[in-house]
Chains A and B, each alone.
Chain A
Amino acid sequence: MTTIQENQAKKEVMRRIRRSRSPKKIIKTTLHYLFLTVITLIFFAPIAYMLIGSLKPTAEVLDGINGFIPKDLSFANYLQVFATFNDDSMGFLWRFYANSVLVSFVIVFGGLIVNSMIAYALARLRWRGRNAVQVIVVLLVILPFEAIAIPLFYLLRDYRNTYFVQFLPFIASAFSIYLFYTFFIGLPLEIQESARIDGASPWRIYRAIILPMSKPVFASVTILSFLSAWSSFLFPLMMVDDPLYVPLPLEIQVYFTQPPTDWGPIFAFGVILVLPVLAVFLLFQRWFIQSVAASAIKG
C-alpha cells in the first residue's frame, strides 16, 4: 500500500508531466475535445430542434434542416397551448401540471417514509419473519412494473380516473428498499448500539440517529423515484382518460394524437413539460449523477 505522501508526490509528478505540453499532447487534447463536441452536437440536436421549433410557425418546423434555423421566432405556440388547454373538454394546463406534481410528490415522499422504515427494520432489527420478508424483497427487485401492469389494470378497473390509483401502487418499491437497505447496513453500529443500551427505542434510533446520517441515500432514492414517477406513461394510459386527472406525459401523447398535428404547439407543450425538470436537473446535477451511479446493483 502506498502512503498518502507517496500518492501526493506521484500526483505532483503527473501534474508536471501534464503541464509540459508536447505538440503530440496538444493534438491529442484537441482531438479529444473535437470528438466530445461532435457527439454533444449530435446528442443535443433533437433537443435544440424542439426548443427552436417551439418558437417557430408550424409550417416552418417540418422543413428539413431548415428546422434548426431560428427564424420568425415568437411565443405564439405557447400562447396557443395556453389557449387550447383552458376548458373542461380539453383540460387545463395547470391541472395537468398539478396532477403530475401531486402524484409524483406522493410517490416520492410516501416512498421515502415507507421504504426507509422497512429497510431499517430489515437491516437493523431482529424480528420474527424478517428473513422471509428479506427474501421476498430481493425477489421483487427484479420484477419490472410491466409484469403486474395488466392484472393491476384488471383489479383496479373500477377506480379509473382517480388520484390514488395513480400513486398507491408505486409507493412501496422493492428497489428503493434495497437501496436503503444496502446503505443502512453500511452505517457504523457503535452509536446505534450505545443508544440502545441507553434505552432508546428502535423508532427513536431510526429518527434521531439513522435519518441524519442517511442524507445521500435519501437524495438518491428521491431522484430515482421522481424520474420514474414523473415519466410514468403505461399505467396512466390504461387508468386515466378524464382530462381532470391526466398527468403531463400522457397528455402530450393525447395532444400529439389529436388531429390536426400542429408541430409548433406540440413542441411548445414539450418544452413546458420538460423545462422545470431540466432546471431542477441543472441545479442538482451532481446529485442526479450520483443517484444514477448508486443505482447499479452489481452483486
Chain B
Amino acid sequence: MGKSKRTKFGQDNLAGLLMSLPGILLLVLFVIVPFFTAIVLSFFNVDFNMVGGPKFWGLEQYRRILVDPVTSPIFYKALMNNFTFALIVVPVQTGLAVLLAVMLNAKLKGIAFFRTFFFLPVVFPMSLVAIIWALMFSRDSLGMLNGLLNLFSFGYIQPIDWLGDPNIALLSIALLSVWAGVGFQMVIVLAGLQEIPLELYEAASLDRANWWQRFWNVTIPGLRNTLVFVVIITTIFSLRLFDQVFILTKGGPIDATQTVMYQAVTSAFVEGNVGRASAITVVFVVIIICITLIQRVVLRQNREVK
C-alpha cells in the first residue's frame, strides 16, 4: 500500500488507530493474553488445591500428558475418541449435507418448506439438544429410539443401551451431533451448488450424461472448495466436542466418550489442576493449526489444478 498521496497520512493514521482501538484492545485482553497465559501456565504446576503459589515445572505437564505410561493413556484415549468421532461425523454429516442440498436444489413447489425443517435444529442450543436426546436414548424398552427400532424391526432388535454401552456411546453422541449440525452444512453446500454455472449441466446433458455422471463430473468438482471448507470446519468441530459429552455421559462409560476438551475442562474446573488443563489447551491449539495448514495446502493444490 504505502503512503497515500491525496490525503494526509497523519489523518488516516489517527482515525485508523482510533477506530481499531476498541477491537484491538478487546482481542488483546480476551484472546491474545489468555492464549499466552495458557502457554505460560502449561510450564507450571498450578493447582487450586495446592498450598502456596505456582511452581515452575518445565515440561513436566507435557511429559505427563504425552509420555508418562500412567497418566498419558487417558489423554491418548481422549484424542483417539475425538478422531474416531471426526471419522464418523465428517463423512456422514458432509455426505448427508450434500444429499439434502442436492435434493433441495431441485425446482419443485414447496421445497423451501423442507429446508426449514432440516435447518431447524441449528437454532437449538446444544445443551437442549443433548437433553432431548438423553430421553430419546433411554436404555430400556421405554426409550423412544428403542421403541422405534423395535417397531420397524417387528420386535427383532432388542433395546440398546445407547449411552451406557462403551461400544455404542460415542456413536450415539455422533448421531445427535449430526442431527444438530447437518442443517448448517447443508445451507453452505446449497450456496455452493448455486454457484456452479448452469451451462456446465447443459453441456453435460447435451453429452447425454445421466444424473449420476452429472453428479460426479459436474456437481462434485464444482463443490470442491466448499467441501474442503465443510470438512475442515466439521473436523475442528469434532475436536471441540464438549457440551454433549458433559451433559450426557461425563466421559464415560469407562472413558468411551472422553474428549480432549472434556479433560481440559474437568482438569481445571473440577480438579483445579490449571497447569495440566493449560498444557492440554496448547496441544489442542497445535492440532487445530496443523489441520488448518493441511486445509491451506489442499486448497492451493486445487487452485493449481484449475
Contacts and interface: CB of A to CB of B under 8 A. Distances in A.
A147 B285 contact: yes
A120 B19 CA distance: 8
Interface stretch (B62-70, B85-93, B111-119, B165-173): B111-119
Contact of A253 (B124, B148, B247): B247
Contacts of A146: 240, 242, 261, 264, 281, 284
Contacts of A122: 20
A49 B131 contact: no
B218 interface: no
B256 interface: no
A158 to B, nearest CB: 12
Main secondary structure of the interface of A (DSSP, over half): helix
A129 B12 CA distance: 12
Interface string B118-159: 111111111110111111101001111011101100000000
Contact of A61 (B14, B20, B37, B135): B135
A258 B242 CA distance: 20
Interface string A280-297: 011001001100110111
B254 to A, nearest CB: 21
A281 B20 CA distance: 32
A225 B103 CA distance: 29
B285 to A, nearest CB: 5
Contact of B299 (A115, A126, A299): A299
Contacts of B204: none
Interface in A42-63: 43-44, 46-47, 49-50, 53, 61-63
A154 B54 CA distance: 12
A44 B117 contact: yes
B281 A151 contact: yes
Contact of A152 (B14, B30, B192): B30
Given A32-B106, A253-B247, A274 B128 contact: yes
Given A46-B179, A64-B142, A121-B20, A143 B128 contact: no
B52 interface: no
Contacts of A62: 135, 138, 142-143
B127 A249 contact: yes
Given A44-B117, A172-B30, A298-B229, A127 B13 contact: yes
A196 B7 contact: yes
Contact of A118 (B23, B190, B225, B247): B23
Interface residues of A, number: 103
A298 B16 CA distance: 28
Interface stretch (A73-81, A83-91, A211-219, A230-238): A230-238
A174 interface: yes
Contact of A125 (B19, B24, B27, B261): B19
B150 A64 contact: yes
B131 A127 contact: no
B127 A49 contact: no
Given A64-B150, A127-B12, A289-B115, A238 B24 contact: no
B301 interface: no
Contacts of B151: 65
Nearest to B267: A150
A256 B134 CA distance: 10
A64 B144 contact: yes
Contacts of B26: 114, 168-169, 171-172
Contacts of B228: 298
A125 B17 CA distance: 9
User: Chain B interface: which size bin?
Assistant: 35 or more
Contacts of B226: 296, 298
Given A172-B27, A270-B132, A273-B125, A203 B19 contact: yes
Contact of B19 (A121, A237, A298): A121
Interface string A102-137: 000000000001110110111001111111010011
A41 B183 CA distance: 14
A203 B265 CA distance: 43
A289 B243 contact: no
A277 B150 CA distance: 34
A40 B182 CA distance: 13
Contact of A293 (B138, B187, B247): B187
Contacts of A142: 236, 288-289, 292
A177 interface: yes
Interface string B236-265: 100010110011000000000000010011
Interface in B6-48: 6-7, 9, 11-17, 19-20, 22-27, 30-35, 37-38, 41, 46
Given A65-B147, A146-B240, A253-B131, 14 more contacts: A32-B103, A39-B100, A46-B133, A47-B132, A115-B23, A117-B22, A121-B16, A125-B19, A140-B31, A169-B31, A248-B125, A249-B126, A253-B130, A293-B190
Interface pairs A-B: 3 shortest CB-CB = A127-B16, A64-B147, A118-B23
27 contacts: A44-B120, A46-B133, A46-B179, A64-B141, A118-B19, A120-B19, A121-B15, A125-B16, A133-B24, A143-B31, A144-B240, A146-B242, A147-B38, A148-B31, A149-B265, A151-B34, A172-B22, A201-B11, A234-B243, A253-B130, A270-B132, A273-B125, A278-B120, A285-B116, A289-B115, A289-B187, A298-B228
